[in-house]
Amino acid sequence: FEHIQAQIQELASMGGQAVAEAVTVKTGADLLEMSFPDNPLIGGLLDERESLLVCGPSGLGKSVLTLNMAFSLAMPPMNGLWGAFDVPRPLKTAFIQSENTAKATKKRIEKIIRANPSWRSALDRFAFPFVNDDLRLSGVLTETTFAAKVERVVEETQSDVLILDPLISYHGEDENDNAAMRRSLDALTAICDRLRVACIVVHHIGKTDDTGKATFSGRGASAIGDWCANILSMNPVLDDRGERTNIIEMRHQKARNFELRPRFYLERTADLLMVPTDDPRDKEGRERVQIVLDCLRDAGGSVESKSVLVGAVQEHTGKSRGTAQAMIADAHKRGHIVFTPGKQNREGVAFANHANFEAGNSHV
């Protein structure tokens, strides 16, 4: 009995990782004969059993961003996540977070679904663990008991994606210790591999550079960046006085198995929606897109034939048909509009974010 008890204690001290799975050896030729499904969860951003680090300065809206992501993963938009990344199928998400109370989270969700009522149907596709009537949960990933709690949440919800927010609440290490941080993050990888889920990890960046751009700082931060497969950084866009605006620059900083996407911009609305917008410094481009959106709004928010919108833009601007077509193509490229099936095999046009159209927020 004492021998068995000693073995149990040893296993617990090693974070439950002492039970090794059987190891086999395959050659490069064997590997080429193997087949693997190509089913990314978020095209260009997050594959099965991969990790995505969402990082940025404090107070920028990282938790709001991941809440918006959960809605979009549950009900994939026609033009993808933020008009930038395809979501091939509806996904379930498990939130494990330590900063926002149940009351505060409820208020956020209520505000979001007031702005986008169709998202109410997505609420059954993401979930939170409750402890003592609240949904704040923290612990250390390398500890067997907490790892078991995380696994139980994912298994009970049958989630495809696990969100941890923020990272600092789930390790007991000095973030400047590369080896210690890597052990904690490898423990998270092991959990994801066992459960076959992907993870999104929110990480606070302690400082920004002189331009307001988020940068990794310290040895620990570099270990975190090395571990994750993909990185999205959130950077505040400043006004002429150096104050933060409600526009956020999104930088796709790392993609281990995808092509990097050019930077894009999101606007955090008063309703806590994160909607695609344009670089506020590109005034001429924004004005051209705004004309397209205004014409589309005047047409009721959608048209069954693109030629109808082309004519409306021509009439509004006095420009040529080719210029109007280019303006519409630019609005589509920036993610503000989508092309839809129309009548008689014609291509129609609609707002990419119909909730914004209904709320009267069809602005760039």
Which 3 state secondary structure label does DSSP give 121? Answer: helix
Count of C-beta atoms within a 10 Å radius of residue 250: 22
Farthest-apart Cα atoms in the chain, separation? 89
pLDDT score at 22 = 78
DSSP letters of 307-358? HHHHHHHHHHH---HHHHHHHHHHHHHTTSEEEEE-GGG-EEEEES-HHHHH
Mean pLDDT of the chain: 87
Sorting pLDDT into bands at 50, 70 and 90, what band is 359?
very low
The structure's pTM equals 0.77
Written as six digits, the tokens of 277 are 């917008």
- Does residue 66 surpass a pLDDT of 90? yes
158 or 10: whose pLDDT is higher? 158
- Does residue 357 surpass a pLDDT of 80? no
Domain 283-358 grouped into CATH 1.10.10.10: yes
Q: What is the DSSP letter of 99?
A: S
Q: List Cβ neighbours of 35 (8 Å cut-off, separation of 6 or more).
A: none
Q: What is the mean pLDDT of residues 105-114?
A: 97
Phi, psi torsion values for 203, nearest 5 degrees: -135, 125
Sequence ranges of the chain with CATH classification 3.40.50.300: 51-277
Sorting pLDDT into bands at 50, 70 and 90, what band is 95?
very high
Q: What percent of the chain has pLDDT over 70?
A: 87
Sorting pLDDT into bands at 50, 70 and 90, what band is 18?
very low
Pick the range with the lowest mean pLDDT from 68-72, 255-259, 279-283: 279-283
8 Å CB contact between 280 and 253: no
Look at phi and psi of residue 177 and say left if phi exceeds 0, alpha if psi is from -120 to 50, else beta. Answer: beta
Q: What is the mean pLDDT of residues 239-247?
A: 89
pLDDT digits (tens, 9 = 90+) for 309-329: 999 999 999 989 999 999 999
Sorting pLDDT into bands at 50, 70 and 90, what band is 280?
confident
Pick the range with the lowest mean pLDDT from 185-194, 337-346, 353-362: 353-362
8 Å CB contact between 164 and 199: yes
Sorting pLDDT into bands at 50, 70 and 90, what band is 89?
very high
Look at the domain 51-277 and name its fold. Rossmann fold (3.40.50)
pLDDT score at 39 = 84
Sequence ranges of the chain with CATH classification 1.10.10.10: 283-358
Q: What is the mean pLDDT of residues 259-287?
A: 90
- Does residue 9 surpass a pLDDT of 70? no
